[in-house]
Amino acid sequence: MTAAPEMTVTSLILNASPVVQAVMAILIAASVVSWSIILQRVGTYRRADSLSRQFEERFWSGMDMRQLYEQTNHQPNPESGCENLFRSCFQEFQRLRDKHADAEAIMQGVSRSLRITLSVEQSKLEAQLPFLASVGSTSPYVGLFGTVWGIMSSFLGLAKVQQATLAVVAPGIAEALIATAIGLFAAIPAVLAYNRFAAQSDGLLSRYEIFAEELSSILHREAHAGR
């Protein structure tokens, strides 16, 4: 009696129907891209947090703002949101002051500069998060489509044989379930990473907004003191 060939995950994937293989390939590609984004975002948030903390320490150390501005212009850290806010804001402050604008016009320019820079920093922090959200929400359904297609193909093949046995049905159902497993494998890390990164992004943006408010108050006093 000839032994049935051993079923392995690799053999099931290689022998799956073209549609199921296409679904698996899409999900694996989505998973690879998700992990590359996750690793890149981890580094981005860590650097943004560390550099912003370092800049805030320098800012509140009592250093003259003009001296600090010159230093940051000479050796900028584009990944520090607080530094970017200070640099763009103080540049606008100096530009309007050199033009002898009144205090209200200066503060309007400063507020506009802060809003624009905050928007830019928010875009940088939230970059690629929509892709993770899409992978997390759609991958299970894509995997389910592969599963339904595989099971449907198995039952269509079952209708063509005289005697239905588990050995006939099992490979098709097993390959179909692998599609669901790959879909979950792609979705779960993407959802967890998205939630974590969204929280980190909100935390950093809150810090940037607080720093922007404090900076605006300092410059407001400076603008009126110079009149």
Q: Is residue 143 part of a domain?
A: no
pLDDT of residue 205: 95
pLDDT of residue 174: 76
Q: Is residue 153 part of a domain?
A: no
Q: Is residue 158 part of a domain?
A: no
pLDDT of residue 150: 80
Q: Is residue 7 part of a domain?
A: no
pLDDT of residue 169: 65
pLDDT in tens, the chain (227 residues): 344 456 666 766 666 778 888 888 999 999 999 999 999 999 999 999 999 999 999 999 888 888 988 888 888 888 999 999 999 999 999 998 888 888 899 899 999 999 999 999 999 999 999 999 999 999 999 988 888 888 887 777 766 666 656 566 666 677 778 888 899 999 999 999 999 999 999 999 999 999 999 999 998 888 877 55
pLDDT of residue 193: 95
pTM: 0.82
Q: Is residue 77 part of a domain?
A: yes
Q: What are the tokens at 36?
A: 């590359």
C-beta of residue 211 within 8 angstroms of C-beta of residue 82: yes
pLDDT of residue 1: 39
Q: How many CB atoms lie within 10 A of CB 92?
A: 21
Give the amino acid at 196: R
Q: What are the tokens at 195?
A: 């939630």
Give the amino acid at 16: A
Distance from C-alpha of 137 to C-alpha of 66, rounded to nearest angstrom = 49
CA 111 and chain centroid, separation: 28
Distance from C-alpha of 212 to C-alpha of 196, rounded to nearest angstrom = 24
Q: Is residue 141 part of a domain?
A: no
Distance from C-alpha of 220 to C-alpha of 103, rounded to nearest angstrom = 8
Q: Is residue 155 part of a domain?
A: no
Q: Could you give the number of structural domains in the chain?
A: 1
Give the amino acid at 133: A
Place of tokens 């297609």: 149
Q: Is residue 13 part of a domain?
A: no
* Domain membership of residue 98 as a residue range: 19-136+188-225
Dihedral (CA of 155, 157, 160, 163) sign: negative
